[in-house]
Structure 1
Amino acid sequence: MNAPLPPAPRDPQALAEACAAAMWHNDSTSQRLGMALIRVAPGEAMLEMTVTEAMSNGHGNCHGGYIFTLADSAFAFACNSRNAVVVGQHCSITYLTPGRLGDRLTAEAREVSLKGRSGIYDIHITNQHGEPVAEFRGHSRTVKGQHLPDPA
């Protein structure tokens, strides 16, 4: 049986970290793909993932779906950093250079705009040499719910 979640912290950085911990606990996709949550802040997140043989396509490169999934996970942690449940409404990705077997990919998400229930986030995906691999733009929508209970 799961223990009740602690109340949401008031400090924005502590809140972002607590929301990320609550989400990570249930995020089997990111965990099973070997992603690591490196950093989270209000409207920001950084995740990393190493390209494995199971992620390679017929060209011997990282399948684009795995790069997309890494970017989408960074997007999710960035837009859920304020204790509101937020989902992706629309996104697009542009692949710039292939990810290679053994590459350590980093997805860095930053909030561009947040107005009402709608947000826009840019996610830059690079390899271990800092070379750009892809650019992802996500549009978010806040829905009902919170990750943590309001403080008493």
Structure 2
Amino acid sequence: MQKIFNFFNKGGDFASNIGIKLLEVHYGYAKAKMQIKEFHLNQAGVAHGGAIFTLADFAFAVASNSFGKVSLAINTSISFMHAAKLGDILIAEANLVDESNRLATYEVIVKTEDKKIAFFTGTVYKTKKDVFE
């Protein structure tokens, strides 16, 4: 699991450049965080939906690849429940819901300490390729 954690927590990639940090990973599970900064805000002064989606998608990607095989998203959806504001620390937790030989479905909850911000679902296609190849 440490190898997967290190692989997804390296610096210099898109997720780290926008402030996402991986906190935890287990088989079929990942937890990540991001603090809302000025550049995450939209014209209405709240966190841009794309920033929240990216956090959820990152947790989804880590959880779905935690088995060591490349898994690629084939469908995702997000529903926003509350706005996130400047300074909020968002936590995204991704959990495996169901899987077959080739497909797996995950749920991701994005929340602050006291409220749910978004609910994300995603399905991946599981390849036979090793993540580290």
TM over 0.5: yes
Structure 1 match to 2:28: 43
Q: More displaced, 140-149 or 96-105? A: 140-149
Are residues 77 and 123 of structure 1, via their aligned partners in 2, closer, same or farther at CA, if it must alter by over 3 Å? Answer: same
Structure 2 match to 1:80: 65
* Identical pairs, percent: 31
Q: Tell me, yes or no, if structure 1 residue 142 matches structure 2 residue 126.
A: yes
| Separation of aligned partners in 2, 1:117 and 1:101 | 40
1:4-38 C-alpha deviation (Å, 9 max, x unpaired): xxxxxxxxxxxx33123223337701110111111
Q: Secondary structure at the match of 1:40?
A: strand
Q: Tell me, yes or no, if structure 1 residue 123 matches structure 2 residue 123.
A: no
**Normalising by the residue count of structure 2, what TM-score does the alignment of the two structures yield?**
0.94
| Separation of aligned partners in 2, 1:39 and 1:23 | 11
AA in 2 matched with 1:133 = I
Count of residue pairs brought into register by the alignment: 133
Q: Work out whether residues 17 and 41 of structure 1, in 8 Å CA contact, stay in contact via their aligned partners in 2.
A: no
Q: Secondary structure at the match of 1:85?
A: strand
The structural deviation recorded for 1:148 is 3.7
1:62-118 C-alpha deviation (Å, 9 max, x unpaired): 000000000000000000001100111100000000010110000000000111110
**Normalising by the residue count of structure 1, what TM-score does the alignment of the two structures yield?**
0.82
Q: Secondary structure at the match of 1:145?
A: strand
Within the candidate set 52, 55, 68, 2:40 is matched to 55
| Separation of aligned partners in 2, 1:114 and 1:64 | 28
Matches for 1:11-50 after TM superposition, within 5 Å: 16-25=1-10, 28-50=13-35
| Separation of aligned partners in 1, 2:26 and 2:4 | 10
The structural deviation recorded for 1:144 is 4.0
Q: Tell me, yes or no, if structure 1 residue 107 matches structure 2 residue 88.
A: no
Unmatched segments (≥5 aa) in structure 2: none
Are residues 21 and 90 of structure 1, via their aligned partners in 2, closer, same or farther at CA, if it must alter by over 3 Å? Answer: same
Unmatched segments (≥5 aa) in structure 1: 1-15
